[in-house]
Amino acid sequence: NEPHLRNTDKMTKNSANLRVRLPALIFALEVMIIVLYAVFVTYDDHTNALLQTNMTKPMENAVYQDYPFFADIQMMIFIGFGCLLSFFQRYGFGGMVFNFLTATFAIQWAILIQGFFHFYYDGKIHLGVINLINAEFACAVVLISFGAVLGKTSPVQLLVSLFEILFEYLKINDAGGSILIHVFACYFGLGVTFILYRPSLNDGHSKECTSYQSDMLSVLGTLFLWVFWPSFNCALTLRGDDQHRAILHTFIGLSASTLTAFALSAMLNKNGKLSMADVQNVTLAGGVTVGASVDMMITPAAAYALGMLGCTACMLGYKYLSPFLARRLRVQDQCGIHNLHGLTGLISTVAAIYPQLAELQELIPGLKAGLGRTAKEQALYQLAALGSTIALAAVGGMLTGLLLKLPYLASPSDEFCFDDELFFNVPADYNQAPVAQDLGCTETQDKHVLGNERSTEI
Amino acid sequence: NEPHLRNTDKMTKNSANLRVRLPALIFALEVMIIVLYAVFVTYDDHTNALLQTNMTKPMENAVYQDYPFFADIQMMIFIGFGCLLSFFQRYGFGGMVFNFLTATFAIQWAILIQGFFHFYYDGKIHLGVINLINAEFACAVVLISFGAVLGKTSPVQLLVSLFEILFEYLKINDAGGSILIHVFACYFGLGVTFILYRPSLNDGHSKECTSYQSDMLSVLGTLFLWVFWPSFNCALTLRGDDQHRAILHTFIGLSASTLTAFALSAMLNKNGKLSMADVQNVTLAGGVTVGASVDMMITPAAAYALGMLGCTACMLGYKYLSPFLARRLRVQDQCGIHNLHGLTGLISTVAAIYPQLAELQELIPGLKAGLGRTAKEQALYQLAALGSTIALAAVGGMLTGLLLKLPYLASPSDEFCFDDELFFNVPADYNQAPVAQDLGCTETQDKHVLGNERSTEI
Amino acid sequence: NEPHLRNTDKMTKNSANLRVRLPALIFALEVMIIVLYAVFVTYDDHTNALLQTNMTKPMENAVYQDYPFFADIQMMIFIGFGCLLSFFQRYGFGGMVFNFLTATFAIQWAILIQGFFHFYYDGKIHLGVINLINAEFACAVVLISFGAVLGKTSPVQLLVSLFEILFEYLKINDAGGSILIHVFACYFGLGVTFILYRPSLNDGHSKECTSYQSDMLSVLGTLFLWVFWPSFNCALTLRGDDQHRAILHTFIGLSASTLTAFALSAMLNKNGKLSMADVQNVTLAGGVTVGASVDMMITPAAAYALGMLGCTACMLGYKYLSPFLARRLRVQDQCGIHNLHGLTGLISTVAAIYPQLAELQELIPGLKAGLGRTAKEQALYQLAALGSTIALAAVGGMLTGLLLKLPYLASPSDEFCFDDELFFNVPADYNQAPVAQDLGCTETQDKHVLGNERSTEI
């Protein structure tokens, strides 16, 4: 135990010590935020008391339409993601707490950046709960990307990486469609992890496994995401029947992917047993796959089929694609975001092209005659938007990765990846529990690891 | 440890291996669901874009009335039940994850079956969030019944047992009253467990106890159920003051049963200490007991009294009736659903007869003259409905139990009851923690077990 | 282990045995509650069926405005507080379950007391969900005070201490302003703990530390409080833009205090590592600091500044003031409520004086001329109200502390503080985990303890 402690001390006394770096960065960011708030941010029509008149009906304030969705997405971001990312045996603090820190700053940052893009007039950003919802979507992008480098980055790096939000607003909004946030987040994260490649992790890491309690907490996080995903998918769709359909389709898609995930997990894992990693991740695929067409009249059966399809792609991705990416392409995708958000996002976007066209045709009957050509053009346009999103995200991610390699950002050494002791004062029982390698974790257990074959002994 | 591992392997290589059975069953069910969706399911008036006109006000869409209650009940089903059922030391995965699987399929299945019974016209089932709420009630029935056989059934058996929903719709809706779902669920579950009787479990099982962490998680589940129970009890009552009263009465009833549960727990347990099993279960009794009269003008005091009464019955049931049922009547009610849902449901139904009559009289003054006779008749009708619900539930449960005894359904052997290792790839620390028997669990600890005297040394 | 067990037995066989005391007290309280309900409580205009007419629109019932906020605050009280208070390694049951018991009774008790003060006319207390929301605020006061004596009081003492609610209604409502609940709660709790001073605890206690799992659960509680805090701060403000601003300001204040807490934690803790105790507590300071001006037009930048300011005061309080209070002033503030609710509450109240005056001036232009004098007077009046709140709270707390020293209230001995075994049947693994002292907890770990220097080796 002694030499181990000495190593941590050495580590924290040098490159990974947060004492100066983290406060310096945070205070600098906070000063920037508060100055921008003071100079540029004011209330919008629904929060400005001076714009309310005798005729204003308080109950018609937008807050009553927006706040319930805001609260639901808050649950997903802080509780759902927080628990889900706590699946490592010795990185529970890091998973939950760095998620908390990153999300909090991401939302503040997004309020300002999207404010300039979308809520800026008369020289001011105008603020209401609707801005917070939009900022939460930007934050979700960040947290998805975070999954690619979980356990391998310091809080300083995480805060620096929030440049992502700038790239995001450069790109996503010209293409429209909330599904692109999954695709963007995924390829951005992959770009970062490509640059931060750590060869030694491809041979496994003694702390890169779960414990009984961490698996329980992580699946609890999945359930929170599952329960509130309909709110996420409908929050920015049109009010009324559009939002109603978005809820239905999301629920049906998630249900289909959940059932499929259990089937595939038993089928593809060794001994015919279920894997908690599958239950934690693959069950959610349907929520992404229905995303691009979630408010359209696609029929419930199509939502169901999309859920099954997305789940299957996600599962096969975890099983075959992720190990390949890690070993051959230097892409160590820690949580498998390429499976849960990338593949499913691609499927969703492509699958939405036809119903989008049909709906367009419905709305503008004049299109009917020339639909053949228009449809092809429109489809190509959609695919081009998808391609350019991927390209920008990957390039942005790689640039950000380069930035994160700068010295002084407290990057953990390979040895201290997935280890709470590096950045936290840990309780006395932390070093009492046997570490995975003593227990033969690398042999008997499913891993969220990408360089290792994940339960491939079929 | 070695022979133990070999046993698991043997078990999973043979009768309890899910590799073929679970995927085969799930895929068959999914094909059935998707075909039924494609042929029979369409959008209802609030989700069909084609039925919206220029006059439609989006904010008057039913989704804004229904979705909040839907989301609350989702929390109860996936988070509340999931955590509550994770109380076994070594069956946390099973409790939370099989709840997830069962609930997901039960809701899909209920959407279709209740769709044919209640939302079918013009050759189609018409779908909106209101259907999902109704399906969640059917799902709650399934999860309550599940409590009777927790830890003793495979996921294949759980999915097969969802025939329950068919029986449910055959019966419950002709009698009316959401309270019957508790009574039906209880006697159905007891019917199943009666057939699946395992004599050896009456002598205790080495893994049939809780751990410190599992007790914490389970009581957290109780709290989620407690917090959202008012939404459950009011979701299907009339809008307006009825729903308002339902919330009040549920809250008051739960509060009364919670206080009473603490008092009785200290009074009836050995050494005058509190039992976590009581806190996890008995506190919730009041939510059931107020159920049948929840929207009536029964007065807050009556709601309080119902909570105290239900709690007392539930507590005494756990203490004296459950052991008797297990030893003498072959009814091994694992979670004590007969106490929390059966006894309380009976009390609730009987207690609601008088205010129902009074309310009837209020509405139809003409009844006044002959109320004496009408009241008696009405009361008898209610009791007959209750009796026939119990009978059908018990018979349906027993038939389902027989079905579950068919080979190939991966039923766990006695040895592997309450053991996650049978159906899950478990983390490396799973076999590190000492099992209960080594710790003398059967002597010093409260048990959720029914064959054993539960804390009877007063 | 043997002598340890014998001690517990001895303890519970004598002074700390709940068998008679707890049931006797609870049943007495329940009889009192049900009699008061029966005699004095009836439905209000929104829950009384007899007051609904043909003209009543059900969807305009107050329940649809009030219930969502009620449910959110329920989550804070039962889940958020429950988890947050479970941070001790061996007092998780106590933290979560005594919070459950105390909150349940506090709300019932507050419904009656505030009913007499605020909802009483025609000889009756009139009940609707709005009463429940008000009662939840009274309950929050109790739970905050509870933090000062966590782990050092029996459930009997906790129920007796609910006299607090009487004091509360004597004082808070004449001064107005929900921020006073934090100040009142804090000084009441400090008054109690001053009287219950336990000198031996100033030298540390072997069980007064956290475990990895308890820290995880506790930070989860923090996240629930964080997510729903905007609902808490806006529930009793005016509908419309006021409520909208309250949500925005709370969110911004919390975000600012969260970022600041991470910065200060890394800066002030040994080795430049983060402390979970800071993440669990100090992050929330901003929610309190914005409280007194939460619905005013203070600007988003001011909300941000208030969050940073409150967080800094709270952090310095934990670091320097709490140890001083414990060692020199006999005030052992177990959870540091003086930092999270006291200092922040004072800042909030003082910071709100100017915008309150400005708003007053806006509304009543006539004030303008004489504003100088009026403002000074008004400010003095506010400060006087604050002072008298503190005085009454402290005196009330000390009186309650004296009451709690009465015999027969099952007060735990010093040895059995922070120990679930005293009041609960604990699972078999409870005594397996090594206790803190064996692990050197007092040396290597952050403590929530107040008599000890908390991470002072800068």
Report the gap between the CA of C154 and the closest CA in chain A (Å).
Answer: 26
Give pLDDT tens digits for C296-352: 999 999 999 999 999 999 999 999 999 999 999 999 999 999 999 999 999 998 888
- On the question of pLDDT at A345 being above 60, the answer is yes
Q: Which residues of C touch A74 (CB under 8 A)?
A: 227
pLDDT of residue B168: 79
- On the question of pLDDT at C3 being above 70, the answer is no
Task: Report the residue of chain B nearest C155, measured CA to CA.
Answer: B262
Q: How many angstroms from the chain centroid is the CA of residue B283?
A: 15
Neighbouring subunits of A (3+ Cβ pairs under 8 A):
B, C
- On the question of pLDDT at B165 being above 90, the answer is no
CA dist B23 and C384 (Å) reads 71
One-letter amino acid at A34 equals: I
Instruction: Give the closest residue to B235 by CA, choosing from B174, B295, B310.
Output: B295
* A355: enclosing H helix or E strand: helix A344-363
The answer to whether the CB atoms of A47 and C241 lie below 8 A apart is yes
Contacts (Cβ under 8 Å, ≥6 apart) of C18: B266, B272, B273, B274, C12, C154, C155, C156, C410, C423
The answer to whether the CB atoms of B223 and C100 lie below 8 A apart is yes
Give pLDDT tens digits for C397-410: 999 999 999 989 99
Q: Which residues of B touch A433 (CB under 8 A)?
A: 429
Average pLDDT over residues A422-438: 78
pLDDT of residue A119: 84
- On the question of pLDDT at C122 being above 60, the answer is yes
Domain boundaries defined on chain C: 28-51+61-412
Neighbour tally for C61: CB within 10 Å = 23
pLDDT of residue B371: 52
Give pLDDT tens digits for B304-320: 999 999 999 999 999 99
pLDDT of residue C7: 58
Kindly compute the dihedral angle of the four CA atoms of residues C214, C215, C218, C224, in this order, to the nearest 10 degrees.
-130
Q: CA–CA distance from B170 to each of B108, B382, B388 (Å)?
A: 18, 17, 11
pLDDT of residue B196: 96
pLDDT of residue B439: 52
Report the gap between the CA of B86 and the closest CA in chain C (Å).
Answer: 14
Give pLDDT tens digits for B96-127: 999 999 999 999 999 999 999 888 899 999 99
Q: Which residues of C touch A27 (CB under 8 A)?
A: 263
pLDDT of residue C366: 55
Q: How many cross-chain Cβ pairs, A to B, lie less than 8 Å apart? A: 211
The answer to whether the CB atoms of B93 and A215 lie below 8 A apart is yes
Between C241, C279, C433, which is nearest A46 by CB? C241
Give pLDDT tens digits for B345-402: 999 988 888 777 776 666 665 555 455 556 677 788 888 888 988 999 999 999 999 9
Tell me which architecture the domain covering B8-50+60-423 has in CATH: Orthogonal Bundle (1.10)
pLDDT of residue A174: 41
CA dist A372 and B176 (Å) reads 54
CA dist C180 and C183 (Å) reads 5
Between B46, B82, B432, which is nearest A244 by CB? B46
pLDDT of residue B175: 39
Eight-state DSSP code of residue B424? B
Q: For an interface test with C, give the residue of A13, A42, A44, A67 to mutate (most C CBs within 10 A).
A: A67
Neighbouring subunits of C (3+ Cβ pairs under 8 A):
A, B
Average pLDDT over residues B142-162: 95
The answer to whether the CB atoms of A428 and C276 lie below 8 A apart is no
Task: Report the residue of chain C nearest A72, measured CA to CA.
Answer: C227
Lowest model confidence (mean pLDDT) among A43-57, A233-247, B352-366: B352-366
The token duo for B14 is 């043979």
Q: For an interface test with B, give the residue of A248, A282, A443, A454 to mutate (most B CBs within 10 A).
A: A248
Model confidence at C385, pLDDT cuts 50, 70, 90, reads: confident
pLDDT of residue A1: 39
pLDDT of residue A458: 32
CA dist B234 and C67 (Å) reads 11
Q: Which residues of B touch C126 (CB under 8 A)?
A: none
pLDDT of residue B451: 35
pLDDT of residue A82: 98
Report yes or no: C326 and C333 within 8 Å, Cβ to Cβ.
Answer: yes
Q: Which residues of A touch B53 (CB under 8 A)?
A: none
Report the gap between the CA of B44 and the closest CA in chain C (Å).
Answer: 21
Q: Which residues of A touch B210 (CB under 8 A)?
A: none
- Computed over every residue of chain A, the mean pLDDT equals 88
Average pLDDT over residues B408-418: 93
Task: Indicate the class that CATH gives domain C28-51+61-412.
Answer: mainly alpha
Q: Which residues of A touch C256 (CB under 8 A)?
A: 30, 34
- On the question of pLDDT at C447 being above 50, the answer is no
The answer to whether the CB atoms of B47 and A241 lie below 8 A apart is yes
Neighbouring subunits of B (3+ Cβ pairs under 8 A):
A, C
Lowest model confidence (mean pLDDT) among A69-78, B82-91, B359-368: B359-368
The answer to whether the CB atoms of B273 and C18 lie below 8 A apart is yes
pLDDT of residue B14: 63
Between C51, C425, C427, which is nearest B269 by CB? C425
Average pLDDT over residues C97-106: 98
- Computed over every residue of chain C, the mean pLDDT equals 88
Q: Which residues of C touch A432 (CB under 8 A)?
A: 434, 439
Complex-level ipTM: 0.93
- On the question of pLDDT at C435 being above 80, the answer is no
Task: Report the residue of chain A nearest C228, measured CA to CA.
Answer: A71
Between A65, A212, A256, which is nearest B427 by CB? A212
Between A212, A275, A446, which is nearest B429 by CB? A212
Between A252, A262, A270, which is nearest B22 by CB? A262
- On the question of pLDDT at A25 being above 50, the answer is yes
Q: For an interface test with C, give the residue of A6, A26, A47, A108 to mutate (most C CBs within 10 A).
A: A47
pLDDT of residue C2: 43
- On the question of pLDDT at C17 being above 80, the answer is yes
Q: Which residues of B touch A262 (CB under 8 A)?
A: 22, 26, 101, 155
Q: Which residues of C touch B299 (CB under 8 A)?
A: 37-38, 41-42
Give pLDDT tens digits for C237-296: 999 999 999 999 999 999 999 999 999 999 999 789 999 999 999 999 999 999 999 999
Between A19, A33, A82, which is nearest C223 by CB? A82
Model confidence at A2, pLDDT cuts 50, 70, 90, reads: very low
- On the question of pLDDT at C176 being above 50, the answer is no
- On the question of pLDDT at C164 being above 60, the answer is yes
Give pLDDT tens digits for A95-117: 999 999 999 999 999 999 999 98
Give pLDDT tens digits for B339-361: 999 999 999 988 888 777 776 66
Instruction: Give the closest residue to C81 by CA, choosing from C347, C352, C341.
Output: C341
The answer to whether the CB atoms of B240 and C61 lie below 8 A apart is yes
Query: What is the CATH number that goes with domain A24-49+60-416?
Result: 1.10.3430.10
Q: Where is pLDDT greater, at A437 or C118?
A: C118
**Length of chain A in residues, anyone?**
458
- On the question of pLDDT at C362 being above 70, the answer is no
* C124: enclosing H helix or E strand: strand C124-127
pLDDT of residue A456: 35
Model confidence at B450, pLDDT cuts 50, 70, 90, reads: very low
pLDDT of residue C434: 60
Strand partners, B43: B127
Q: Percent of chain C beyond pLDDT 90?
A: 71
Model confidence at B448, pLDDT cuts 50, 70, 90, reads: very low
Between A26, A49, A429, which is nearest C439 by CB? A429
Q: Which residues of B touch A255 (CB under 8 A)?
A: 104-105, 107-108
Q: CA–CA distance from C123 to each of A209, B31, C33, C114, C169 (Å)?
A: 65, 64, 17, 14, 19
Return the HEC string of A15-73.
Answer: CCCCCCHHHHHHHHHHHHHHHHHHHHEEECCCCCHHHCCCCCCHHHCCHHHHHHHHHHH
The answer to whether the CB atoms of B274 and C425 lie below 8 A apart is yes
Give pLDDT tens digits for A159-193: 999 888 888 777 655 434 578 889 999 999 999 99
Report yes or no: A210 and B86 within 8 Å, Cβ to Cβ.
Answer: no
Q: Which residues of C touch B304 (CB under 8 A)?
A: 30, 33-34, 37
